[in-house]
Chain A
Amino acid sequence: MIHVRNLIFSYGKGPRLFDDFSWDVNRGEAWSIIGPSGCGKTTLLYLLAGLYMPQEGTITIDGEPIVRPRPKTGLILQDHGLLPWGTVWENACLGLKIRGFYGPDGRHAPLNETLDAHNGEDRVSHWLKRLKIESLRDKYPSQISGGERQRTAICRSLVMEPDFLLLDEPFSALDAPTREDLEKLCIGLNREGGLTMVIVTHNIDEAVLMGRHILVLAGDTTKKPVVCDNIGAHGRGDDATLQDQCHALRGLLDNDNEIER
């Protein structure tokens, strides 16, 4: 589904974050990306989202080269990115409103989507209910908790019916129960809904829990990124397998010395 080929990227004249980097993600896979800070995890996510452009090399999704944000890719950030002046409901509707604003032009919205206002509202209601934030629909972001804001952001993405979801440290500011709850939700979306998912995290346990495959990025481009298969992901393995995987991943990262834990 996603093919990254010979990617080269740096900020301005700074050092290269990616130098001849290639990577493949198949439909329905769940990936974690982990690595030391400054290794380009978030940059890679923004490149996949079409928000940054590669200097050289290509990124294609379903055969289409990515030159702008793709309508069927969802992006969820740690900082939610909710409009402070909109209620939960208005924020959840934002993506559909933007689609309506441009019409189904294939650039800002999928070509074949014909959605009347009523359908759209049903979809938003459905996801608000599923994410258990229905009762908050008239609240503003400043009135709800961090976890509820992140649910709103997730809802806003899912309303758009993405086939590919990118998450940038989405749960790192949340308390443990909320975090587990949302992790389970995402795992469910991947396993039941077949949603292709890439999550960037600096938390080893989260990487092991969420990613069926793990991409370990090194701090510098002289070292090749490592891909590990993680059979224990999504709670499939027992605790011991999970522990082992975490241990193995920690070992890999320790080679790079300065990983945050």
Chain B
Amino acid sequence: MKSSVNISGALTGLVILITAWQVMAWAIDLPILPAPLTVVPLFCKALFGELGLHLLASSARVLLATGLAVITAVPIGLGLALTPMLDRIFNPVIAVLYPLPKIVFLPVIYVLVGITDVSKIFLISLIIFFQILVVVRDEAVNLRPELIMSVRSLGAGRRGLLRYVFLPATLPAVLTALRVSVGTAVAVLFIVEQSLTTYGLGYYIVVETYQVLRYPEMYAGILAMGLMGLVFYFIVYAVERRVNRHMFLEDG
């Protein structure tokens, strides 16, 4: 797996985007598109005020949801892979549930759990959960039997195999799944934060700024949400590069 994305690449992209934004702002010249020259200083100031609190609340929700998804999906995925009987029953169910857009269950979850942080975090983690579950199961099922046989012959029982084969074998897939699903997670966060929230970027962007026509502040919120997604993406990417050194070798 080789990826061309890196920090310097992202910075170049950012510069190009902001330049294009500035040019468009000049060309269109409407209140709905304030220039970055207005928004960026505002963003920097607001980050240490209200906006910072919204950003913290949103980040906490995404992190909690991610953590929850990882600690449930990894053991369940491994359990399925190691228990063919369960796998035969649940794999078809997962195959149907996996492509469903989980966001459509929003009303159901709201009614059942109530519109609280619990339901919001649950919905986000549900999306990441399925992404991770599917890749962990697939990775573990597709491990070569020779690899497992030879590690067993070195003395590894079930616990040893888990520790030295299954966990390290599935970790790369978990990280890739996380990196890929960060975007969806932030998108769902944006939607769930619009109802009954006091702190959160989704609330800030839609209720506190957009609905009262504070467009420059709204853009500061958009910037914060975009940066949050970007930072999460690169954190996972950095961990991936560290953990999966064998996948990023220069000479294959």
Q: A142's contact among B149, B152, B168, B246, by CB below 8 Å, is which?
A: B246
Q: B160's contact among A51, A81, A101, A157, by CB below 8 Å, is which?
A: A101
Cβ-defined contact, A97 with B164, below 8 A: yes
Cβ-defined contact, A75 with B153, below 8 A: yes
Cβ-defined contact, A140 with B163, below 8 A: no
A-B contact count (CB 8 A): 89
Instruction: Give the residues in chain B near A81, CB-CB below 8 Å.
Output: 144, 146-147, 149-151
Instruction: Give the residues in chain B near A253, CB-CB below 8 Å.
Output: none
B157 within 8 A of A: yes
Give chain B nearest CB distance to A160 CB in angstroms.
7
Cβ-defined contact, B246 with A140, below 8 A: yes
Cβ-defined contact, A108 with B151, below 8 A: no
Chain A interface size, under 10 / 10 to 19 / 20 to 34 / 35 or more: 35 or more
Q: B154's contact among A46, A79, A86, A94, by CB below 8 Å, is which?
A: A94
Residue of A nearest to B251 (CB): A143
Cβ-defined contact, B169 with A85, below 8 A: yes
B209 within 8 A of A: no
Chain B, interface SS category: helix
A71 within 8 A of B: yes
Residue of A nearest to B147 (CB): A81
A208 within 8 A of B: no
B40 within 8 A of A: no
Cβ-defined contact, B149 with A95, below 8 A: no
Cβ-defined contact, B164 with A94, below 8 A: yes
Q: List 27 A-B contacts (CB under 8 A).
A: A46-B149, A49-B149, A50-B153, A51-B152, A68-B157, A69-B153, A71-B155, A74-B153, A75-B150, A75-B153, A79-B147, A80-B146, A81-B146, A83-B151, A85-B168, A94-B164, A95-B155, A98-B151, A99-B155, A101-B163, A101-B164, A108-B157, A141-B246, A142-B246, A142-B249, A142-B252, A156-B154
